[in-house]
Structure 1
Amino acid sequence: MSTDYEYSFFRIAKEDVTASTAQKYKQLRLHALSVAPTSFSSTYEIESAFADTEWINRLTATGKETFICAATPTQNNDPSDSQSSLASTWIGQLTLRGPQSPSDFALPPESGQKSPTGEELWQMLSLFTLPEHCGRGLGKKLCQEALNYLASYKVSPREVLVRLMVKPENHATVSLYRGLGFAEVGKCTLAEALVANGDGHLLPGDVSGEKYSARSGLIMVLGIRRG
């Protein structure tokens, strides 16, 4: 018998983070790194070595917001299911970095990205849903949860600009972002994407090689107006 689920989407409030919260996030993140290593700039080997305090710090750090999709098996799967077997599991994640300063958000002219014009600036990254839950529109709903947060958590400035960087060969992901209203505005290098996503520490000393300097990643942006 296949399992049916109810899904919920929420932001992890920094003031509510506990050791248990961090453990759930750690399990999701490491699972994601193990089943889809090419989707992330970091690796399972790096993050599996993190101490428990590092996972708490990730969820409470200033300038970062984490959003989760949780799956709860429905009771109609099997009337004999215990409450423990119906506990929710975190199966998807999304991160926002910001608000960023114009200088941190800036890219070189050759990227094609225009200079900000006073908007509140955010970077969207690390969208992921576990493979067994794909095909249910969860990634789009997770993005919408994050975008709704940006639109409503305060009233000014009125204009918000959300940017993401994605590999063009990830056709399904690019299509998802287009469906949300994101538009392509230029191309980035892997080095620029790593820095924008907060992973600049993973860069080697020399980034002149094609792997890091080729301008092949898509830059996509979405404008949000509050109020």
Structure 2
Amino acid sequence: MAAPRLDTDEVILVPKMFSPPTLEQEVVNRYKHLRLHGLKVDPQSFSATYEDESKFDDDVWLSRIHNPVGKTFAAVTDSNTQSEASTTETLVKTNGANDALQRLLRKEWVGIVTLLGPGVFSRPNEGVATGLNQPSEVFIQNNQYQIPTTTSELGDLSGAHLVYLVVGMFVSPSGRRRGHGQRLMEATIAAATEEVRALEGSKVSITVQVESGNLRAQRLYERVGFKVVDEAVVIENRQGAKSSVVCLELEIDLSA
């Protein structure tokens, strides 16, 4: 049973623009540190590897935060390291950061997740996009993930069935069993739903792929409403290695 939620625990959307910009490097460092930590301690949960991503320079990490079709969320809690907290507190005060950015920098990052999209599964009077059988296939073609285009390139989305992909989900072992994973997923679901409403879409699907055998992650997604739609999806990474994953989806009808 998860521990009771603490007021110090929250999920914050990582900004793409920083005011002042001098704090950008601090955010990049925190994102990079937690991502690499995840690749090292939980390699089976990712299609990427620690060996590859540990070689990335800061421009690559920054490009992920700036991704125009991505929203990254961080689960944060009060830091247990007083010396680190004091140093960050001085940095934040000196730069006069806004409230959300202050909380991102003052607290310890214990989890991250990224929401990519939207992609179009179907449009009114056009039906389902050619060759697609289910929403998850918007992002998987020829056994590889496809990067979605920006909403400005998708045209009129009124009445469309839009799809999002959850990637990079990780909660540090030290932060587990405190509800961080569920709060991260609730934040992505809320963000996708809010955006589709703003775009006047009729339906939103959120899809995620889990390594076969990763029952802990699968249970988390099912707990917030996801359902298994395919138990044998083959994904090929950049190096050509293939793995079998379970595909889960959550569908929300906004037309009612």
Say yes or no: TM over 0.5.
yes
> Aligned equivalents of 1:203 and 1:132: distance in 2?
31
Match of 2:117 among 98, 115, 125: 98
How is 1:161-172 mapped onto 2 (pairs within 5 angstroms)? 161-172=205-216
Secondary structure at 1:22's aligned position in 2?
helix
Q: 1:121 Cα shift? A: 0.8
Secondary structure at 2:229's aligned position in 1?
strand
Residue in 1 aligned with 2:247?
219
Structure 2 vs 1, CA of residues 107 and 137 (structure 1 numbering), >3 Å: closer, same or farther? farther
> Aligned equivalents of 1:47 and 1:151: distance in 2?
31
Secondary structure at 1:172's aligned position in 2?
helix
> Aligned equivalents of 2:136 and 2:55: distance in 1?
39
Q: 1:20 Cα shift? A: 1.9
Secondary structure at 1:53's aligned position in 2?
helix
Secondary structure at 1:70's aligned position in 2?
strand
Contact 1:6 1:73 in 2 (8 A): no
118-127 or 15-24: bigger deviation: 15-24
Structure 2 residue ranges without an equivalent (≥5): 1-5, 90-105, 123-128, 139-158
> Aligned equivalents of 1:11 and 1:171: distance in 2?
27
135-144 or 168-177: bigger deviation: 168-177
How is 1:57-68 mapped onto 2 (pairs within 5 angstroms)? 57-68=63-74
Q: Confirm or deny that 1:177 pairs with 2:205.
A: no
How is 1:150-169 mapped onto 2 (pairs within 5 angstroms)? 150-153=192-195, 154-155=197-198, 156-169=200-213
Amino acid at match of 1:89: E
> Aligned equivalents of 1:185 and 1:159: distance in 2?
17
Q: CA RMSD in A?
A: 3.2
Secondary structure at 1:14's aligned position in 2?
coil
* TM value normalised by structure 1: 0.75
* TM value normalised by structure 2: 0.67
Residue in 1 aligned with 2:50?
44
> Aligned equivalents of 2:130 and 2:178: distance in 1?
35
Structure 1 residue ranges without an equivalent (≥5): 195-199
Q: 1:159 Cα shift? A: 1.2
Identical positions, percent: 25
> Aligned equivalents of 2:163 and 2:214: distance in 1?
24
Match of 1:126 among 168, 174, 177: 168
Secondary structure at 2:8's aligned position in 1?
strand
Secondary structure at 1:190's aligned position in 2?
strand
